[in-house]
Amino acid sequence: MKPKIPLLLLFIGLITFIFSCQQSQKVNTDVYTTALKLSDKIIDVYLTIDKINENTYYRQSLASILTDSGKTIAFKPILRNKNDIEIIMAYKDYLSDVYSKITNNENISDATVKADVKALLTLVDSLHPNVYSRKIEKISALISNPNIKFDILTYYVVDLLSDILYSDVKKWVSSVDSAYNVYAYKLDRIPISVFDMQKLQKYIYEPYKGNKKLVEIYKQNLKQEAMIYKNKFKDKATGAYIAMKDFKELLLELHNANPDMSFVYYKLAKIKAYTNKKVIRNDEK
């Protein structure tokens, strides 16, 4: 009689394989939901970074008033593109519904999620006509597939949003650079006569004397402070785009048959580090 041990080992191996697949699927699901929450936080942080520059234009106007001419300059504040805010909020709606479907083990390709994507694409196409046509067509084709997977669909949605975010960030960074340059230019032209030297001396810690020198030091300190917060703003704004890019790469890796989980966790850690950074206003120390 032939031994039955090999058959038993085969059965045990099969059970182990099935269990490991289930565990792997659970791990991936946990990673998906974590990544979704972090992606939502990226957007939340991006929508609040303008706090860093909330009094920039007050300072500019003040510097303009105090110049020799006494004429004010009509500064236009750095405003968010309202169109892109609508798109970003539509993306958040999509994330929310996908997260709900995954955590409740529901079909990711149901009508609710598809409606979110269609609304997002319609919005992008109407607000940016002919700019993102190819990506819109690609995603439209994907949502017509009843077997579409969450990771690949979200990958292309994030790919589209990343492009929009990148364009928005470039405008913001350029605007912030211009705002700083105007502020520094006007600050240099404020005459000594408008400064109260007794009060000014309380803000100067360097061991120097002479009204002209003290005023120059004070102006330099103001410019340095403005430069620090300008760079904080730029880092936070560009960081949002980089974090979205990391999220996109994470999704692509998870779509592989055997994803490199060390790479995935590294990307998650990077995104989490970005979303955990405090947003500081430029009137805070």
List, as one string, the DSSP characters of 201-243.
GGG--SS---HHHHHHHHHHHHHHHHHHHHHHHHHHHHHHHHH
Look at the alpha carbons of 263, 265, 271, 274 in this order and tell me if their dihedral is positive or negative.
negative
pLDDT of residue 31: 78
Model pTM?
0.73
For residues 22-38, give the mean pLDDT: 64
Q: What integer is the mean pLDDT of 185-193? A: 83
Mean pLDDT for 197-218 is 78
Whether pLDDT at 150 is above 90: no
Q: Are 169 and 238 in contact (CB under 8 A)?
A: yes
Mean pLDDT of 62-77: 56
DSSP, residue by residue, 28-66: HHHHHHHHHHHHHHHHHHHTTGGGGGTTHHHHHHHHHHT
Chain position carrying tokens 């009060």: 199
Amino acid at 17: F
Residue 257 has pLDDT above 60, yes or no: yes
The percentage of residues in the chain with a pLDDT greater than 90, rounded to a whole number, is 7
Higher-scoring residue by pLDDT: 221, 47 = 221
Give residue 134's pLDDT: 93
pLDDT at residue 10 is higher than 50: no
pLDDT per residue as tens digits for the range 110-142: 677 888 888 899 989 998 888 999 999 999 998
Place of tokens 């110049």: 67
132: phi then psi, degrees, rounded to nearest 5? -120, 30
The sign one gets for the Cα dihedral 175, 123, 51, 276 is: negative
The pLDDT tens digits of the residues spanning 223-254 come to 888 888 788 888 888 888 888 899 889 888 88
Asked if 186 contacts 63 with a C-beta cutoff of 8 angstroms, the reply is yes
Residue 27 has pLDDT above 50, yes or no: no
Across residues 272-285, what is the average pLDDT? Answer: 60
pLDDT, residue 69, reads 52
**Which of the four pLDDT bands, split at 50, 70 and 90, describes residue 103?**
confident
With a cut of 80, say whether residue 212 has pLDDT above it. Answer: yes
pLDDT score for 80: 59
Count Cβ atoms within 10 A of the Cβ of residue 93 and give its class: 0-12 exposed, 13-18 middle, 19 or more buried: middle
Average pLDDT estimate for 155-181: 85
- Residue 62 has a pLDDT of 66
pLDDT at position 74, please? 46
> 46, 240 in Cβ contact below 8 A?
yes
Which of these, 59, 70, 57, 73, lies nearest to 191 by C-alpha position?
70
**More confident call, 147 vs 10:** 147
Q: What's the chain's average pLDDT?
A: 75
Please compute the mean of the pLDDT values over residues 9-16 and round it to a whole number.
40
pLDDT confidence band for 106 (50 / 70 / 90): low
Bigger pLDDT: 255 vs 59: 255
